[in-house]
Amino acid sequence: MKTEPINEMKLVFPSSSSNEGFARAAVAAFAAQLDPTVDEISDIRTAVSEAVTNCIVHAYRDTIGKIEILMRLYEGGKLVIQVKDKGCGMEDVEKAMEPLFTTGGEERAGLGFAVMESFMNRLHVTSRPGKGTCVTMEKRLVGRSGYGR
């Protein structure tokens, strides 16, 4: 049986670098209803920042496209965040997720997926060349009031 979210939101915005901070703040504001700890909010903000930056730098490279963030809250403090683009996509998701692998040139560290994985409880990436990428991240929040325990 599929569980319904207790709340959800969707954001769609252009892939300009100025919107990375906006996405981080909007996600943190939405997650705040679960009364997360400062560390939990920091983890979420960092993971979303990495996912959005990947869209800006890799998916759309030299053009502006749309980035979509879908967030869902579930009973017990479960937060699911999807960051989607309709950019260039990836030929080999497994290879792209290897630490230090990058298509962004020397100035990129190639650690985006590793960072997302380290701050979230679950990370799943799907991609189709020419169609785009969807990064799904899951975090179980305990929160300051012990909500997720």
Q: Which of 50, 94, 106, 107 is catalytic?
A: 50
Residues 6+ apart with CB under 8 A from 129: 88, 89, 90, 91
Cα separation, 41 vs 32, whole angstroms: 8
Q: Which of 19, 24, 45, 54 is catalytic?
A: 54
Name all contacts of 59-65 with Cβ < 8 Å and 24+ positions apart. 59/15, 59/85, 59/86, 59/87, 59/88, 59/89, 59/132, 59/133, 60/15, 60/85, 60/87, 60/88, 61/87, 61/88, 64/14, 64/15, 64/16, 65/14, 65/15
Residue 108 designated active-site: yes
Q: Which of 108, 117, 138, 140 is catalytic?
A: 108
| Cβ–Cβ under 8 Å, residues 66 and 12 | yes
Residue 54 designated active-site: yes
Residue numbers annotated as active site: 50, 54, 108
